Amino acid sequence: MTKVTKDELGKRERNKLDKRERIRDAAWSLFTRQGFEATTTKQVAQEAGVAKGTLFLYAKDKPDLLFLVFHDRLATAVDEGFASMPGRAPLIDQLMHLFRRIFEMYAEHPEVASAFVSALPGAEGPNAMAVHGLTLAFVTRVGGLITEAQQRGDVSDEVPPQLAGANIFALYFGALLGWLNGMASLEVALENMLRPSLELQIRGFRP
Amino acid sequence: MTKVTKDELGKRERNKLDKRERIRDAAWSLFTRQGFEATTTKQVAQEAGVAKGTLFLYAKDKPDLLFLVFHDRLATAVDEGFASMPGRAPLIDQLMHLFRRIFEMYAEHPEVASAFVSALPGAEGPNAMAVHGLTLAFVTRVGGLITEAQQRGDVSDEVPPQLAGANIFALYFGALLGWLNGMASLEVALENMLRPSLELQIRGFRP
DNA sequence: TTCAAAAACTGACCACGGTCATAATCTGTC
DNA sequence: GACAGATTATGACCGTGGTCAGTTTTTGAA
């Protein structure tokens, strides 16, 4: 069984991937230039060089285009955040490092980010599912940080790592919503909202 | 300066209140019968006995109708929850009592509730603002519970009550989203998701 | 190469949410 | 009661998101 690389695919699969990319890039370009609401699906189709109906073969609806464009950006931010994370720093510093990287990604285009985050609850469609998968993996990885902290002796063994990961995610998501809708500055959101919130949660992790 | 009761109002104000109620009731009736998506604004207008344009004098857009119908229901659930709350019970029991009352309210019509909660982030319009006000008041009252627990000696004085209230709200909101979209049972959502989450947060409140 | 079945694409079409110029109604004043 | 000004109500109208019957492209088998 040989590894399948991009140019070994059949014409069908290659065309699909190409179109997917073109749609993603067209959507991103228009959303950042005009905003999400002001962009019509017709425009996205035109800029991507496909018919309007084709758009909805690659995204269930207009919000699903947001998930298409943010999936890779989010995945990259998360991966970079974990990759550059200090291994032996206190848990709060690790978390803040991670979330700072993610917040910075959103801060590049706050209006589009706000539309994305607001559309997340209850979203359906293939790209929404992909983002949901990212989220689950993320919560699991945060849970892994808790486990590591337990091995270091920084966190009590009584704390269930996955539950702790889920709580931390809920607090992060709350801070994210508050930030993007209230439009505070990045630093204020991180240091005055998210950090105290996480610190109060982590108090309960102490052995 | 006499207290202004309903029938002392001018004809204008009375008509406005009447229409508002008719719109609220028509929307609620249709949403519960057909679901939010399946209900058209035209139907709501007809059932309320107003023109379609009039609808949008009382709600900024279709989601804002959800906020119109849920505002009173939510306020009632919250008030009842606080009113019937055991005064000297442990904090976790007080919170669970409160949230149980709220979850039960949502459980009466889970589909409509799901649309409501999903529409909350980033919502605009007069009714959305009213619900937002409810939320702020709610967080403050939860903060008050923390203060009371501190006076009882159950919670450390180092815990900022308002921050604690905000954290608890974020965890509640996360559990609510997970419940309404994952469609677990009410009991599972309350006992297996929300309670452990709150308990893990409250660990950090101990003196 | 040929062909038939499957998969992907298309754009005319439609129902809906939301707007706005106009009409109707209310209010306080004389 | 009569009026002017202010507020509220109306529904024809419009642009949009989303659909789907019909068309084109790809595939693998013969």
pLDDT tens for each residue of A108-160: 999 999 999 999 999 999 999 999 999 999 999 999 999 999 999 999 999 99
Verify whether the Cβ–Cβ distance B121 to A177 is below 8 Å.
yes
pLDDT of residue B2: 31
Q: Quick count: other Cβ atoms within 10 Å of Cβ A15?
A: 11
Range of the domain at A21: 1-58
Q: Quick count: other Cβ atoms within 10 Å of Cβ A5?
A: 7
Which chain B residue has the Cα nearest residue A203? B204
We report the CATH number of the domain holding residue B163 as 1.10.357.10
Write the burial class of residue A2 (CB in 10 Å: 0-12 exposed, 13-18 middle, 19+ buried). Answer: exposed
Q: Which band of pLDDT confidence, cut at 50, 70 and 90, is reported for residue A207?
A: confident
Which chain B residue has the Cα nearest residue A199? B204
Residue by residue, DSSP assigns B107-145 as HTSHHHHHHHHHH-TT--SHHHHHHHHHHHHHHHHHHHH
Please, are residues A23 and A49 in contact by the beta-carbon 8 Å criterion?
no
Q: What angle do CA A92, A98, A100 make, to 5 degrees?
A: 95
Same domain, A21 and A111: no
| Residue scoring higher pLDDT (B121 or A206) | B121
Same domain, B42 and B120: no
Same domain, B42 and B142: no
Same domain, B75 and B172: yes
A66, A120, A129, B142 from A124: Cα distances, Å? 12, 9, 7, 33
- Distance measured from the CA of protein residue A54 to the C1' of nucleotide C8, in angstroms: 9
pLDDT of residue A148: 98
- Out of B15, B41, B58, pick the residue that ends a domain: B58
Q: Which band of pLDDT confidence, cut at 50, 70 and 90, is reported for residue A204?
A: confident
Residues A157, A148: Cα–Cα separation, whole Å: 11
Please, are residues B108 and B55 in contact by the beta-carbon 8 Å criterion?
no
Same domain, B120 and B179: yes
For B202, the enclosing helix (H) or strand (E) is: helix B195-203
Same domain, B16 and B113: no
Beta carbon of A97 within 7 Å of strand C?
no
Same domain, B141 and B45: no
Please, are residues A207 and A153 in contact by the beta-carbon 8 Å criterion?
yes
Verify whether the Cβ–Cβ distance A167 to B205 is below 8 Å.
no
**Average pLDDT over chain A, rounded to whole?**
95
Work out the minimum CA distance from B30 to partner chain A, whole angstroms: 21
pLDDT of residue B23: 98
**CB-CB: which of B175, B204, B206 is closest to A201?**
B204
We report the CATH number of the domain holding residue B26 as 1.10.10.60
CA A180 to centroid of chain Cα atoms: 14
Same domain, A171 and A121: yes
Same domain, A154 and A77: yes
CA B28 to centroid of chain Cα atoms: 15
Query: Which residues of chain B have a pLDDT value below 50?
Result: 1-6
* B14: nt with nearest C1' to CA: C26
Chain A residues within an 8 Å CB radius of B174:
166, 169-170, 173-174
pLDDT of residue A6 exceeding 60, the answer is no
pLDDT of residue A7 exceeding 60, the answer is no
Same domain, A187 and A101: yes
Question: What residues of B are in the A interface, CB distance below 8 Å?
Answer: 114-115, 117-118, 120-122, 159-160, 163-164, 166-167, 169-171, 173-175, 177, 180-181, 196-197, 200-206
Same domain, B74 and B50: no
* A38: nt with nearest C1' to CA: D16
Same domain, B41 and B83: no
Verify whether the Cβ–Cβ distance B159 to A117 is below 8 Å.
no
Sign of CA dihedral A135, A137, A138, A139: positive
Q: Which band of pLDDT confidence, cut at 50, 70 and 90, is reported for residue A48?
A: very high
Q: Count how many domains chain A has.
A: 2
Please, are residues B32 and B112 in contact by the beta-carbon 8 Å criterion?
yes
pLDDT of residue B8: 59
